[in-house]
Amino acid sequence: MNLSEMASRARESFYILSAQPLSARNGALLRMAEVLEAEKADIFAANEADLMKAETEGLASPLLHRLRFDEAKLRQVCDGLRALADLPDPIGETVFCHEITEGLRLYRVTCPIGVIGVIFESRPDALVQIASLTIKSGNAALLKGGREALGTNGVLIRCVRRALEEAGLPADAAQLMETREDVAAMLKEDRLIDLIIPRGSNAFVRYIIDNSRIPVLGHADGICHVYVDQSADLETAWKVALDSKTQNLSVCNAAETLLVHAAIAEAFLPHFADLLREKGVEIRGDERTRALIACEPATEADWSTEYLDAILSIRVVDSLEEAVDHINYYGSHHTDCILTQDQAAARYFMDRVDSAGVYLNVSTRFADGFVYGLGAEVGIATGKIHARGPMGLDGLTTYKYKLLGHGQTMAEMKSGERAYTHRVLPEKCPL
């Protein structure tokens, strides 16, 4: 089937799905868990084949680990499906009600976005998670996983589609794209597709943006900072900075650059360097850092580098303002932390740092949708439009206005026959 056909079917499915009650959508999620369990022999077999092929091709160990879909992964995924079914309905919610004039009420109501193209890494569980999130929120999805997981994903999508059908929903609410050519074709379908969520490198997100008119919710770099202010508590600072870098090295919310105020650098850095070395972290420091601790030299390029590895760049700054300027210039506007006991410094930092997450005295590792209490994580949006930072289900929704009247006309408003009352009412939309 060509992509135009797939996109048309997705659109038809969206129209149907968007009007289904929560019980039907939740029913599909619960059925997905059952079908996955029932078909696990096929899933594991396909996965073994994918893994063997990837190993032969020399795929790196962490990526092989990510590719594996075993009994433990299955359990995790099914638990996730059931937890998602427990979340409240993200659509059909009245955001506000305004009375415009007597007998005329405006409701802003949440609704699905429509048809969403999601391109993600070679992590088979991601396919199930993403499909479950789009279904829960009434959207139709065109999914593309990494090619290493093609076999596993082929079985998984079959399970998802079977579950949809058995739950009385259109199977085409979840479709799998298989090749890069499919993705390229998808980018042209701006009449049928409402949003693309590419999870990948900056270069990949740029390629999508450059080749499509469809809005893109980018999910890319994480160049996160920890800034140790002159009035930081040292014990807290050592602990939080270390966790931000080392608790998990290869995630987007790991800190990549540490900034230290000159007035506290001498007290902070030597012990911190010991802690980093214990964890096997390579330190790259500017000249003033190198005057205090033994480390490799940092270059301009280091400030803009997301290592995703046991490397940390360190720079000594003369002021809070300089730290803020550095972060706004070099950072990826993801998550940045200040360690301080000074409220005014904290306020300045959190207002002026132009990032999705600004943290005070807590590890950058907390930037995650589940941690935030959003109940789900669709991805981490790196832009500012529509969603910013860790995205929950609301990132997959938009709203529409429902205006319920009794024959009012603009002529009547203009002539004064009717007057605007403009009252905010605590009403839910009845339709």
- With a CB cutoff of 8 Å and minimum separation 6, the contacts of 143 are 117, 118, 120, 127, 130, 131, 153, 157, 174, 175, 176, 177
222: nearest Cα among 248, 199, 253, 200: 253
Residues 129-188 that bind its own copies (CB under 8 A): none
CB 372, min distance to its own copies, A: 6
32: nearest Cα among 144, 147, 149, 125: 125
Does residue 346 belong to the site contacting its own copies (CB under 8 A)?
yes
- If one counts every other C-beta atom within 10 angstroms of the C-beta of residue 282, the result is 14
Q: Which of 84, 100, 228, 265 binds its own copies (CB under 8 A)?
A: 100
Residues 320-339 that bind its own copies (CB under 8 A): 328
Does residue 189 belong to the site contacting its own copies (CB under 8 A)?
no
CB 36, min distance to its own copies, A: 26
Q: Which of 121, 215, 290, 308 binds its own copies (CB under 8 A)?
A: 215
Query: Would you call 255 exposed, middle or buried from its count of C-beta atoms within 10 A (0-12, 13-18, 19+)?
Result: buried
Query: Would you call 43 exposed, middle or buried from its count of C-beta atoms within 10 A (0-12, 13-18, 19+)?
Result: buried
Does residue 358 belong to the site contacting its own copies (CB under 8 A)?
yes
Does residue 240 belong to the site contacting its own copies (CB under 8 A)?
yes
Does residue 386 belong to the site contacting its own copies (CB under 8 A)?
yes
Q: Under DSSP, is residue 394 helix (H, G, I), strand (E, B) or coil?
A: helix
Stretch touching its own copies by CB under 8 A, among 61-69, 80-88, 120-128, 345-353: 345-353
Euclidean distance between CA atoms 164 and 28, whole angstroms: 5
- The pairing of strands 282-285 and 311-317 is parallel
Q: Which of 233, 282, 322, 342 binds its own copies (CB under 8 A)?
A: 233
Q: Which of 117, 222, 357, 369 binds its own copies (CB under 8 A)?
A: 357
Q: Which of 179, 201, 248, 319 binds its own copies (CB under 8 A)?
A: 248
> Looking up tokens 């979340």, which residue turns up?
87
Does residue 8 belong to the site contacting its own copies (CB under 8 A)?
no
Does residue 405 belong to the site contacting its own copies (CB under 8 A)?
yes
Does residue 288 belong to the site contacting its own copies (CB under 8 A)?
no
Pick between residue 33 and residue 104 the one whose CB is nearest to its own copies.
104
Pick between residue 153 and residue 355 the one whose CB is nearest to its own copies.
355
Q: Give kind and range of the element (H or E) at residue 21.
A: none
State the Cα angle at 274 between 270 and 279, rounded to 5°.
145
CB 214, min distance to its own copies, A: 9
Residues 13-72 that bind its own copies (CB under 8 A): 15, 18-19
Euclidean distance between CA atoms 401 and 399, whole angstroms: 7
Pick between residue 20 and residue 47 the one whose CB is nearest to its own copies.
20
Is the distance from CB of 294 to CB of 273 less than 8 angstroms? yes
245: nearest Cα among 306, 189, 303: 306
Does residue 379 belong to the site contacting its own copies (CB under 8 A)?
no
Q: Which of 280, 410, 416, 426 binds its own copies (CB under 8 A)?
A: 410
The footprint of its own copies on this chain (CB under 8 A) covers a number of residues equal to 77
Does residue 408 belong to the site contacting its own copies (CB under 8 A)?
yes
Q: Which of 53, 188, 271, 402 binds its own copies (CB under 8 A)?
A: 402
Euclidean distance between CA atoms 418 and 209, whole angstroms: 47
The residues facing 111 across adjacent strands are 398
Q: Which of 384, 417, 419, 428 binds its own copies (CB under 8 A)?
A: 384
Q: Which of 388, 391, 393, 396 binds its own copies (CB under 8 A)?
A: 388
Q: Which of 280, 407, 416, 426 binds its own copies (CB under 8 A)?
A: 407
Does residue 73 belong to the site contacting its own copies (CB under 8 A)?
no
Is the distance from CB of 122 to CB of 148 less than 8 angstroms? yes
| 242: its two tokens | 């270390």
Pick between residue 41 and residue 411 the one whose CB is nearest to its own copies.
411
Stretch touching its own copies by CB under 8 A, among 166-174, 176-184, 295-303, 377-385: 377-385
